[in-house]
Amino acid sequence: MRFARHSTAALLDRLTRDPRWQTVVATTGGAHSGGRFWPRALSQGGGDLGQRMQRCLERLPPGPVVIVGTDIPRIRRAHIARALRELGRHDVVFGPAADGGYWLVGLRRRPRIRKLFEGVRWSRAETLADTLQNLHACSVYFLPELRDVDVACDFAASAGDLGRRVLPPPHAEA
């Protein structure tokens, strides 16, 4: 829980202050309009990860959408900018993860919103391959591979990427 809070805060700090895009946080709670220090929030609703992401793709205003996880210590603004730029030339953009999944998925969303996530085996080595099976006649662009933090060994491997801002020393929290 502590990692999730700090990782989310660091991600928002890195990505939300860019005028090239609007940040919306998809939450497991309710939606709210945001404020000065917190972006707009959208409820993911229920279901598996694919159902929740598909719902976000369908509920957001028209235009390209990029979805990222909060557990990607090395994600930077340049990754988001590149994904959005490539959505001008491609239907779908993926940021592949070292474990066979992906840390980013972007969708052009025109002329229609595609169903990307049906039949996907989540948190498996086949996750990206399963998703690609749903993309008939789509042009796809791949960003560089990054590591996400799903389990303790991922956390240890990413420790150098996290830095003090993401995970403060243990005495900083009561």
Give dist(CA 166, CA 172) in Å, integer.
12
Give dist(CA 19, CA 95) in Å, integer.
22
pTM over 0.85: no
The closest alpha carbon to 130, from 118, 114, 142, belongs to 118
The closest alpha carbon to 14, from 66, 74, 67, 97, belongs to 74
Q: What pLDDT shows up at residue 2? A: 74
Beta bridge partners of 30: none
Q: 């090395």: which residue's tokens? A: 74
Q: What pLDDT shows up at residue 112? A: 78
2-163 carries CATH number 3.40.350.10: no
Average pLDDT over residues 53-71: 91
Give dist(CA 106, CA 96) in Å, integer.
12
Q: What pLDDT shows up at residue 173? A: 34
